Amino acid sequence: MSDTMSDEQDLSRNEVADHLQTLAREIRGEGPADVTVGNKSVALDPASVIEYDIAVEERSPMLGGEREAITVTLDWEVESTE
C-alpha cells in the first residue's frame, strides 16, 4: 500500500527556513521523526543512511515566465523490527 500526502503554501523565506530547520531537527538523531504535512503529522522512521537528492531548475522567460525551483528528495529503506 502506498499513501501520499502533500501540502502547498505560499510562505515567507523565514517561514520556509523555519519549516526546513524543524524537519532537519526531526531527522537528526535516533528514533522516529514526526513530519508535519499541512494539518497532519506523520511519524517516519529514517534509516541510519538516507539517500539525498537535490535538483535545481531555472526556467527561461521564453517558457512562460522566469522561475526557479529546488526539489529535495530524501529516501530510505525501512528497517525491519522483526
Please report which confidence band the pLDDT of residue 6 belongs to, taking 50, 70 and 90 as the band edges: very high
The angle subtended at Cα 11 by Cα 15 and Cα 45, nearest 5°, is 60
- Residue 35: burial class (beta carbons within 10 Å; 0-12, 13-18, 19+): middle
The 10s digit of each residue's pLDDT in 11-67 is 999 999 999 999 999 999 888 999 999 999 999 999 999 999 999 999 887 767 788
17 sits in which H/E element: helix 13-27
Cell output for 10: 505560499
Predicted structure pTM score: 0.82
Residue length, the chain? Answer: 82
List 52's β-bridge partners, or say none.
74
